[in-house]
Amino acid sequence: MDKDFRTAYNKCPACGCTKRFFEELLEELKVQGLIPPATTRFDFQQKQGVTLPPQKIATLPIGTEIPAFDIVWDICTECGCMYATVAQRLQAVKSLEQPRIILPTGVGEQLPKGQRPVNLGNIRNN
Ligand SMILES: [Zn+2]
């Protein structure tokens, strides 16, 4: 997989429907003025992480690059299929200071507002 792999799916891969369960709930909340208009997802729809457990990362030298990921999902309102609306490969680097993800060139501008890089200190394995 390319280190800058990123794709966004705008319709259900099973039936082609473009309506999504959580997306429609967000729209209702926006119409009611209960959330900011720029909101693109609920927190629980997004999962970011690295591909190794913290115990393994602790044994690696500073500077080791570790594949990481960012996934956003939703549910098709027509057929119930759960699918990724965004799937992106990221890169984490072990460091003494705040661990961080290095985004591929140009990808940062594509990330939805409010999305933050993965902090290795917050990664869980469940
Ligand atoms: Zn569907």
Domain ranges across the chain:
6-94
Please answer whether residues 109 and 83 qualify as being in contact, where contact means their C-beta atoms are separated by less than 8 angstroms.
no
Q: pTM of the entire structure? A: 0.69
pLDDT at 3 over 90: no
pLDDT in tens, 22-66: 999 999 999 999 999 999 999 999 999 999 998 998 899 999 999
pLDDT in tens, 8-17: 999 999 999 9
Strands 82-93 and 46-50: unpaired
pLDDT at 93 over 50: yes
Q: What's the gap in Å between 16 CA and the centre of ligand 1?
A: 6
Average pLDDT, the chain: 82
> Which tokens go with 51?
């591909």
Band of pLDDT at residue 105, cut at 50, 70 and 90: low
Please answer whether residues 89 and 121 qualify as being in contact, where contact means their C-beta atoms are separated by less than 8 angstroms.
no
Q: What's the gap in Å between 106 CA and the centre of ligand 1?
A: 31
Q: What's the gap in Å between 112 CA and the centre of ligand 1?
A: 24
Q: What's the gap in Å between 11 CA and the centre of ligand 1?
A: 8
